[in-house]
Amino acid sequence: MEFLAQVINGLQLGLVYALIALGYTMVYGIVKLINFAHGDVFMVGAFIGYFGFTYWGFPFPLAVLTSMVVCSLLGVTIERVAYKPLRYAPKIAALISAFGMSLFLEYFCSLKFVFGPNFRVVKRPFEEVYWHLGGLTISNIQVTIFIVVVVMLIILQYLIYRTKTGMAMRAVSVDHNTARLMGVNVDNTISITFAIGSAFAALGGVLYSVAYPQIYPFMGIMPGLKAFTAAVLGGIGIIPGAVLGALIMGQVETMTSAYLSSQLRDAIAFGILILVLLIRPTGILGRTETEKV
Amino acid sequence: MKLSRQSFVILAVAAAFYVVVRAVEAAGIISPYWQMVLDQSLIITIGALGLSLIYGFTGQFSLGHAAFYGLGAYAAGVIDKLWGHGVFPFFLLSLLAGAAVAGFLALLIGLPILRLRSDYLGIATLGFGIIVKVLLDNSNKVWPVLGGATGMSGTPQVASFNVIFVIAFLIVLLVRNFVFSSYGRACTAIREDEIAADVMGVDTTRIKTLAFVLGCALAGLAGGLYAHRYPFLHPSSFDFLKSFDFLLIVVLGGLGSMTGTIITAIGWVFLLEGLRIVLGQNFIDFRGVIYALILIVTIILRPQGIFGGREWKMFVPGIKTAGAPKEEVDRHVSA
């Protein structure tokens, strides 16, 4: 039972990672860029949600929605300002720009007139309720996270495989120029991808801050890295891969904390990543590309 | 020993740099604080040249360079703290040991992971960097001397400007000679096209591993100097943000340009400290914001890096320094 409880904790963490990992993997799929600023969009999302339900008196769903809208605008702005000028430059240039953007968001949000540098304790917008099922205890937060993430995944799946926008996104991810020749507006499609990814990160941020109620401007770094790792683990650019990787990351981290040592959990998580990459260099669900000479 | 004209120019430039620093120092213009910044900039230059070999010249994307810098710092630091006590030969030995530890671990990790390509290699090295940081954070449980998350102090502070300068100078020569040797050519070939290099008979695995080990050993050497210049070592000084510092320097300087790496390394360290002075106490919070903006603007304006693969001709053998055309030698690097 103890073990099952840990599995549920791991699932909770993994689902939140999945929301962040989706943004990484979608952006990587479409512009082949590791968007280091993504973890900081997650942080901004957590803050906006917190302000929404704590100071502005929004009901929880409205606070979440506000946060998602603000962050998708932020994501699109970041792409237009920092990545678009470098789209056809060497890949490393955009990566450096992404890293600069990440630092900018962290330090800008630490300024006293923005969010301030301190930790803030999040007062949950609803009481935490526990349900006992047999020997197992489940909280309403865990149920909320589970339902919200699953619904969002279904929506995303629909969006990508059943709509025109989704088709455009898939086309651009294969080849920008061909997609453009077929009449796809590449710039808009990339913007939409950033908007969706950032909205998911914002949702992840709000859920994370409710589940682990403490926020600060540098909170995005580690979950960002972990989620990115999860995306690579599952096979970057592949949406089910991101979810699979995130669930594995969540389990590994929770199990290491519970049964080994909480200090070693990052080392174990990244150790597993390296091992998986050595066995399957393109991730668990990744296709091995044959190199053309 | 017969000195070529070029070696003479390099020596002359280095000597001039040294004399200027010493003169300014004697005139009392450099405070101990700025002396420390200068020493730091030379130490970072050594580490950055290591990454320049790995990424700039061989094209192997590494996001874990600071791990090797930290391993070198801790290895050299603990050896000198326990057994060397700052005696000069021991100090040099501990530096070598630091470089050797970093190089050896680079060999162990490099052999398997250098098979990975571009971003995947970057993530694997990033993961390695995080693992090293976690292990350093918990190192006191195995060996209390290392201090773990509380940091380690007590390494004799014997790295003077003279020592750091001489070592940095020797490393610049070493890297220059490596880059223009047949090994260096093989590295550049791998960076441009690994399959083509393989087909042309370059033992790609061997050359990649060689460049990786050498570059990481340089990071270890730089770490050893750092341990002997700054009295307090802490695992968070060697986290992945530090790895990014090295990466920024190499990329902003221009991939495949030693000149770019050296100048950007020194300039970057001074810029960071300079911002502290310029902003003053009231605006110190803005330092990070301005740092980030400078980074974004520079890379957007110069995506190929400040030097974009060009090299000062004094670094390029076989080109006469006198009578050569005035413009810099363009080795044309397509990244």
What does the pLDDT read at residue B223?
A: 96
Q: A270 and B295 in contact by Cβ < 8 A?
A: no
Instruction: Please tell me the distance in Å from B231's CA to the nearest CA on chain A.
Output: 26
Q: What is the spatial distance between Cα B214 and Cα A88, in angstroms, rounded to a whole number?
A: 32
The average confidence (pLDDT) of chain A is 91
Q: Which of B131, B244, B303 sits opposite A93 (nearest CB)?
A: B303
Considering CB atoms only, which of B287, B293, B299 is closest to A93? B299
Q: How far is CA B143 from the centre of its chain?
A: 28
Which stretch of A120-129, A173-182, B19-28 has the lowest confidence by average pLDDT? B19-28
* Alpha-carbon gap, residue A202 to A43, rounded angstroms: 8
Q: Which of A80, A52, A85 lies closest to A68, judged by CA?
A: A52
With the C-alpha atoms ordered A7, A12, A17, A18, is the resulting torsion angle positive or negative? positive
Q: pLDDT of A134-145, one tens digit each?
A: 778 889 999 999
Q: How many Å apart are CA A104 and CA A75, to the nearest integer?
A: 14
Name the residue facing B113 among A97, A100, A274 (closest C-beta): A274
Q: Report the phi/psi class of residue A164: left, alpha or beta, with left for phi > 0 and alpha for psi in -120 to 50.
A: alpha
List per-residue pLDDT tens for chain B, 335 residues long. 456 777 788 888 888 888 888 888 888 777 888 888 999 999 999 999 999 999 999 999 999 999 999 999 999 999 998 888 878 889 999 999 999 999 999 999 999 999 888 788 998 999 999 999 999 999 888 888 888 888 898 888 888 899 999 999 999 999 999 999 999 999 999 999 999 999 999 999 999 999 999 999 999 999 999 999 988 999 999 988 899 999 999 999 999 899 999 999 999 999 988 888 888 787 888 888 999 999 999 999 999 888 877 788 777 776 544 444 444 444 444 43
3-state SS track over B71-112: HHHHHHHHHHHHHHCCCHHHHHHHHHHHHHHHHHHHHHHHHH
3-state secondary structure (DSSP) of residue B165: helix
ipTM given for this complex: 0.89
Is B304 close to A89, i.e. CB distance below 8 A? yes
- The model's pTM: 0.90
Residues of B in contact with A107 (CB under 8 A): 285, 287-289, 291-292
Spatial distance between the Cα atoms of B149 and B171, rounded to a whole number of angstroms: 32
List, as ranges, residues 31-90 from A with C-beta within 8 Å of B.
34, 82, 85-86, 89-90
- What is residue A292's predicted lDDT score, i.e. its pLDDT? 59
List CB contacts of A181: < 8 A, sequence separation 6 or more: none
Task: Tell me the longest C-alpha to C-alpha distance in chain A.
Answer: 61
- Per-residue model confidence (pLDDT) at position A289: 67
Q: Chain A residues with CB inside 8 Å of B120's CB?
A: 232, 277, 281-282
Contact call for B288 and A110, based on CB within 8 A: yes
Collect all residues with Cβ–Cβ distance below 8 Å to B296 and sequence separation of at least 6: A82, A97, A100, A101, A104
Of A272 and B318, the one with more pLDDT: A272
* pLDDT of amino acid B3: 62
Residue range A94-108, pLDDT digits in tens: 999 999 999 999 999
* Residue in B closest to A108 by C-alpha: B289
Mean pLDDT of A56-74: 95
Contact B77, B313 (CB under 8 A): no
Q: Is the distance from CB of B204 to CB of B198 less than 8 angstroms?
A: yes
